[in-house]
Amino acid sequence: MTTSNPRHPTVISLVESREETWDGRAERKTALVTGSTDGVGRLVARKLGQAGARVLVHGRGAERGARVVADIEASGGVAAFLAADLSALAEVRRLADEAQATVDRLDILINNAMVHGGALYSLQTGFGS
């Protein structure tokens, strides 16, 4: 299997090579996985979908999101893509509103998104200072 993120091949290969399954553990659950269009987040989203969860795939790019949704659906899962740039607080709020409008409940939250920004991010949002 080709890793989806060549920057982290060791981590990805460790996750991909595990033979354990989550069969049945996530049935009838709804999961939101932020940062799930690449890397570990993508693998977690796929595993949750294979285990029976409805997966809300999050990322910034609709094309990459559509590929993850297609992967989950190809394995028999149910998924939807929600786009948001979590470096902007307004986008975080919009993502929460969109998730609430898409599903009636959220059972699992995997907060995997990575936000770059350092001091500028802290100044713009008021967080981290």
**50-103 pLDDT, tens digit each:** 989 999 999 999 999 999 999 999 999 999 999 999 888 899 999 999 999 999
For the chain, give the mean pLDDT. Answer: 81
CA proximity to 109, closest of 56, 52, 32, 50: 32
| CA–CA separation, 106 and 80 (whole Å) | 13
Q: Give the DSSP H/E element, type plus range, for residue 99.
A: helix 89-102
At the second CATH level, the architecture of 9-125 is 3-Layer(aba) Sandwich (3.40)
The predicted model scores a pTM of 0.75
